Amino acid sequence: MSDLTLEVSETTDLTPTVRRFTLQHPHGLALPPHEPGAHIVITTPAGHKRSYSLVDPGGDQPRHYAVCVRRDNNSRGGSTSMHNDVAVGTTLRTSLPANRFPLHPSPKYLFIAGGIGITPIRSMVRQLRAEAKTDTRLLYLTQSAEETPFREEFTGPHDTVHHSDDHGLLDLWPYLAEPDDDTRVYCCGPAPLMQAVHTLTAHWRASRIHVEQFTAERKISAPFTAVWAPDGLRVEVPAHLSLLEALRRNGVPVESSCEAGVCGTCRLAVLEGEAEHHDSVLTDEERPSTIVACVSRAASSEIVVGPLVRSRKDHP
């Protein structure tokens, strides 16, 4: 997936913990196109593969990509490497843009962003407002004004920027109580926010609701049993744990990198049963016989998995 080598042309601290990185072609060439909601996978200088939303709308021949990275000292190192090891002039390997959170046409939109979840939503809102064709409402939920990237952009009459340190959690029910087939709801943010939006929109048509998919679905999926083929070990995978984590807790070592379904490092062979795929990396050809353990689950009550025999298509 790492198909581009780009150079960091600018870094900007948007908040005490969020830094914006602008990436360009080393010779100033136009970059592959992307749409609002798209992401790229960046290989950090420390070797982690991380997926970041592109914060600008894009277009046919973008001259740059921009991503925002929140420093998380409890993370597995990806954000730390981006903050500590990347400066203007650093070259980074990235994937081509991909989009698992596309913007569908609609007369009206309700965007709900939590914290750094503003990044894909900013690109959507900017594009729609530039076209001035649609009704866009934004609920932007953060902890404090200080930790609110792009807050100066969202001061209009259709923007609600809410800080939980000042006002507690925002009650979303008044915004979601009345289902509206003319409105699409897009939500991106921490898992509890997406779970709340799922719950509060249970009476909406499902096609109207779009959440950042892999995290939300991990949160609400059913438990299942994984059988580790090499030794027949049976591993119960509860709803709140990934297959990857459940296997590891039972002593099965499985390599990983992004843990977001975008790099392919944690692929396993499916020997029996059916996978419920939530990744952005497998081809249609691979899906029947492969599972991405960090995000995907079993569609059946039991699935038999094992190490991938790395003789077919094999990337990374």
Q: Which residues bind ligand FES (CB under 6 A)?
A: 256-259, 261-266, 279, 281, 292, 294
Q: Which is nearer to ligand FES, 67 or 262 (CB)?
A: 262
Q: Which is nearer to ligand FES, 197 or 292 (CB)?
A: 292
State in angstroms the smallest separation of the CB of 295 from ligand FES: 7
Distance CA 315, CA 312 (A): 9
Q: How many residues does the chain have?
A: 316
Q: Which is nearer to ligand FES, 172 or 263 (CB)?
A: 263
Q: Which is nearer to ligand FES, 172 or 262 (CB)?
A: 262
State in angstroms the smallest separation of the CB of 33 from ligand FES: 24
Distance CA 204, CA 110 (A): 13
State in angstroms the smallest separation of the CB of 270 from ligand FES: 15
State in angstroms the smallest separation of the CB of 217 from ligand FES: 14
Q: Which residues pair with 144 in a beta bridge?
A: none
Distance CA 314, CA 222 (A): 29
State in angstroms the smallest separation of the CB of 260 from ligand FES: 6
